[in-house]
Structure 1
Amino acid sequence: MKIDSSKDGYKVKQDDEELLPQGNPIIVLFVLLLCMSLLFFLTSSIAESAESPLPVKGAETGQKVVAKWKPPVAPKVTMPELVSDELAKEFADKWGIELISLRLTAAGYMIDFRFRVLDVEKSKPFFDHRIKPHLVVERSNAKLPIPMAAKVGGFRTTNRGQNIKPNKTYYMVFGNPDAHVKSGQKVTMVIGGFKAKHLKVQ
């Protein structure tokens, strides 16, 4: 048997049962649903704003224009010409090559020479393993040959396999002991009968 009491708004149950607050369960359920709806609306709005792309500045009103991301374009690096146009034409006509670059490498202890083959027959002296190319440092008259490794030989391309192709770039690597040649200094390149003076090392 239950005994009702209006004191402090509680229902008193017999046999010392717990005190329960009075209230309308429909109102409690409505408040709970309202809170859940508000939480769902906030989370969906945050997710939509994070996924939506940024509009392009200056787009016409009413039109949704999406700005597509593009990777930055790397600046084009151009190497300075090693020789004048007149000498370049002479080397191309006589030796069948185009000088591309002469620059320090390996922390300054080597000098990398790159050239492009224009005529395979005329350029054969550049690939003859019997010819020993070297650089002459103009300020000191020191000679810098191509290093020789025990197993791989000289640091250069040879034509032993008849693999030289036109319009292809090849290399030679000259030694630079004690970083003797610095960037900006001039050298003379000697490859058999070929000689190119006043080449600036980059």
Structure 2
Amino acid sequence: MASHYMMLLALLALTCSAAIASDPSSLQDFCVKDSNTSVFVNGFVCKDPKLAEANDFFFSGLHIPGNTSNPVGSRVTPVAVSQIPGLNTLGISLVRIDYAPWGINPPHTHPRATEILTVLEGTLEVGFVTSNPENHLIRKVLQKGDVFVFPVGLVHFQRNIGYGNAVAIAGLSSQNPGVITIANAVFGSTPNISPDILVKAFQVNKNVVLNVQSKF
């Protein structure tokens, strides 16, 4: 009998752990972002559901190519809660990514989302790096129609290795996944991280650090 109680307690503990680890279930049909409030919460305040309309759940323009005339040769077009207020509390979003020939989506992380990417046009080299201490690179070349997953929080990247433009669509498991581009965060912070810290971290000459910081 005691063993049955122990098994029941263990099952309850596992159930509670799983519940704590996941996003809470919605308590209503939807929670359209109220753009007229200045109240700060973890997400956005809901507007009166009686005032919801079709445009709260709608976005147009994802067919338009992004301008890739920039140093990295890519452009991300987001469709998150800022673009579709009705995504608030629903835990999903997506992006379109355009790549110029040999353009990259530089190494970055999404602190709040796993990403699943589908190639619509072109050939992409993609990869992510596992956490310390292994820092193992998991890499693959994707063709049109291929799908790849980047686990939440891990550093990942994409590169167009074709001679034409490439396009991908990515779904993310958060209404606001966030993005931390590694180079921008490390070398372009405001105020700057002390060059002495970066010299030791990257084991390079101080002039190299100052030169890279000047580019951001």
Q: TM-score, normalised by structure 1?
A: 0.30
Larger Rg: 1
Q: Relative contact order (C-alpha < 8 Å, sep 6+): which is higher?
A: 2
